Amino acid sequence: MSSNTLANAIIAPSILSADFTKLGQELNDVERGGADWIHIDVMDGHFVPNISYGPIIVEACKKATKLILDVHLMIEKPDLIIPKFAKAGADLISVHAEACTHLHRTIQLIKSLDNERYKDKNKDKNSSKEKCDVTDISKNGFEEQNKCDGNKIKAGVALNPATPLSAIEWVIDDIDFILIMSVNPGFGGQKFIQSSVEKIQSLAAMLKSRGSKAIIQVDGGIAADTIGKVSAAGATSFVAGSAIFKTSDYNETIKMLRIEAAVS
């Protein structure tokens, strides 16, 4: 991995492992600790065997933090509720290829929706720069991976551990990021699946061969002892739940994750 990995690594704490009795404080703490995105895992009890939360939590997070809200929909029939998450304040929305009958249509739905973060700015018809300014969407280079798109929501596709990369082969040109699940979705704190490294390597090669600027995100078992290998394989966005929220010093933990991501 290049020497600028330390700066480019996108650390996305998953609030699934946060203390919900003080969620606002938890968000403030990871923001001050140097996090880049907030990862919000949405579970419906059908696609995965657990239930988490809905758009109201996204709305609450939007009020509590200025960080990018990265909404991961682990739900059936996501098209029915995607607009509600967009309205609640999602900046990025990822859906599972396994849950979408018409994946291309679902991606286009996400990309057609306005980012609420910039809605007021875009009312100023004389400010063309603000209309096309995607540089605020991420601190660590996400904007460099994407062309100006009028501040639409970014679309991602998630793949379960057993789902082959061929599931996204014909939508690569339409997505902004791919989320590789390195555990089976549904619960936090699971052990990292080692074969995910080879999958990430293959995906990185696929993206390069297609000339895609989509970034690779990894979710599941990400910690100090695993982030380096997935970074070396080609990932640049790292979702970490218990590895961050179960520690006493978020700043030191996030700093250590960045260092380990660069040591590869």
* Sheet hosting strand 154-159, strand order edge to edge: 10-13, 237-240, 215-219, 177-181, 154-159, 92-96, 68-74, 37-43
User: What is the reported pLDDT for 92?
Assistant: 97
User: What is the reported pLDDT for 123?
Assistant: 54
Of 29, 44, 91, 219, which one is the catalytic site residue?
A: 219
Domain ranges of the chain: 5-262
Q: Which residue type, as a one-letter code, is found at position 60?
A: A
Give the whole-angstrom CA distance, residue 233 versus residue 196: 9
Most distant pair of Cα atoms in the chain: their distance: 51
Q: Which residue type, as a one-letter code, is found at position 259?
A: I
Architecture of domain 5-262: Alpha-Beta Barrel (3.20)
Is 41 a residue of the active site?
yes
Of 36, 41, 70, 176, which one is the catalytic site residue?
A: 41
Residue 224, classed as helix, strand or coil, is coil
Low-confidence ranges of the chain (pLDDT < 50): 1-4, 125-142, 144-147
User: What is the reported pLDDT for 148?
Assistant: 53
Give the whole-angstrom CA distance, residue 204 versus residue 252: 29
The DSSP symbol for 192 reads: P
Residue 24, classed as helix, strand or coil, is helix
The token pair at 23 is 């969620």
Closest CA to 90 of 130, 117, 52: 117
Give the whole-angstrom CA distance, residue 41 versus residue 158: 12
Is 219 a residue of the active site?
yes
Cα 45–chain centre separation: 21
The token pair at 147 is 């062309």
Q: Which residues contact 125 (CB under 8 A, 6 or more apart)?
A: none
